């Protein structure tokens, strides 16, 4: 039986100062409408009345969900794969720069079909990958020989094992938000780094598309983070945000998807213009980027 979660306080900071700000549609699977609320205190937004972890699976069952299927169906997904080949290398370089290590132990959470884990494995890192979706785990094994494990493995990993923990567009999907971050403190080495990439609803493209902004992706995205909310959440779990890094391509990718949500078809010219304008607004303020990578370290 499906269990619906209704928040009476903020799932990020527990403040009771919360209110509805918009209603967004699930364009990918169910076509249902979901209410999005915002916390006055920490500014996180969150999807209200969501299925619990045991019930949300059907909302991920779509051939268009690229992170689980590796699909190249459609122009947007084809462009995604072209850009991904470049961004995998930039993520590797960022991780090595921020950790100061050319090789080490990596925990990749929400590893999808294993593309980033394989990139780091090829760079000489020892990899532990966690992924909840069975089809994605199968693809990772067939394509790369990676044996990804279920997310609950996180709670049985040895203490202080990892030099880096990565979550590339994953934290917004995690029901057990607080317990995940608390466990990171256990399994991360004292000088280790955490890399969290999430969409930024305070970006220019989010402001432009409003309820049609594809990165709301309800109900799969349980939370919609602002830089302030990540700062507050990290601090509450014993971490400090050491760096904010832009994800410049996301504004274009999300704008292409948002055009489809808004108009029923992709307007590549308008998507490019909105993506470019969003990036120009973020040029001197990374915290306005469509998606931001937050680099965390222990306090």
The rounded distance, in Å, linking the Cα atoms of 187 and 204 is: 36
Distance CA 234, CA 219 (A): 23
Least confident piece of the model among 15-24, 65-74, 96-105, 116-125: 65-74
**pLDDT at residue 67, as a whole number:** 53
**Mean of pLDDT values over 130-157:** 96
pLDDT tens-digit profile of 43-76? 999 999 999 999 999 999 886 655 555 555 555 5
The pLDDT value given to residue 119: 97
Contacts from 138-144 at CB under 8 Å and sequence distance 24+?
A: 139/69, 139/70, 139/113, 139/114, 140/111, 140/112, 140/113, 140/114, 143/70, 143/113, 143/114, 143/118, 144/114, 144/117, 144/118
Q: Which of 73-82, 160-169, 285-294 has the lowest mean pLDDT?
A: 73-82
Q: In sequence order, what E strands does the chain have?
A: 4-5, 18-25, 33-39, 45-47, 50-51, 105-109, 126-130, 162-168, 188-199, 223-224, 239-246, 291-298
Ordered by start, the domain boundaries in the chain are 4-298
This prediction's pTM:
0.94
Q: What is the CATH number of domain 4-298?
A: 3.40.50.150
The proportion of the chain whose per-residue pLDDT surpasses 70, expressed as a percent, equals: 93
Whether residue 234 is predicted with pLDDT greater than 80 in this model: the reply is yes
201-222: average pLDDT: 98
Rounded to whole angstroms, the Cα distance separating 216 from 25 reads 9
Q: Taking all residues of the chain, what is their mean pLDDT, rounded to a whole number?
A: 94
pLDDT of 126 > 70? The answer is: yes
> Higher model confidence: residue 267 or residue 218?
218
Task: Determine the Cα–Cα distance for residues 299 and 225; give it in Å rounded to an integer.
Answer: 21
């Amino acid at each position: 039986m499906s269990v619906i979660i209704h928040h009476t306080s903020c799932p990020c900071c527990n403040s009771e100062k919360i209110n509805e700000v918009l209603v967004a549609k699930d364009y990918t699977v169910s076509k249902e409408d979901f209410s999005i609320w915002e916390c006055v205190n920490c500014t996180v937004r969150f999807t209200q009345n969501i299925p619990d972890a045991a019930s949300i699976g059907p909302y991920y069952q779509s051939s268009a969900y690229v992170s689980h299927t590796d699909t190249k169906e459609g122009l947007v997904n084809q462009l995604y794969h072209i850009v991904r080949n470049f961004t995998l290398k930039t993520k590797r370089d960022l991780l090595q720069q921020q950790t100061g290590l050319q090789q080490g132990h990596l925990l990749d959470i929400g590893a999808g079909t294993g593309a980033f884990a394989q990139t780091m494995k090829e760079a000489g890192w020892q990899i532990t990958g966690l992924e909840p979706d069975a089809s994605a785990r199968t693809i990772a094994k067939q394509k790369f020989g990676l044996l990804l494990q279920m997310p609950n493995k996180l709670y049985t990993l040895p203490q202080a094992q990892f030099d880096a923990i990565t979550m590339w567009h994953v934290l917004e999907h995690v029901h057990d938000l607080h317990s995940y971050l608390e466990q990171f403190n256990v399994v991360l080495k004292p000088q280790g780094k955490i890399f969290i990439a999430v969409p930024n609803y305070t970006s220019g493209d989010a402001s432009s598309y409003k309820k049609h902004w594809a990165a709301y992706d309800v109900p799969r995205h349980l939370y919609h983070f602002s830089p302030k909310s990540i700062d507050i959440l990290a601090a509450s779990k014993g971490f400090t945000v050491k760096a904010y890094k832009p994800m410049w391509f996301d504004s274009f990718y999300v704008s292409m998807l948002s055009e489809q949500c808004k108009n029923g078809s992709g307007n590549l010219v308008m998507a490019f213009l909105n993506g470019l304008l969003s990036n120009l607004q973020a040029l001197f303020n990374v915290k306005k980027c469509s998606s931001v990578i937050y680099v965390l370290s222990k306090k």
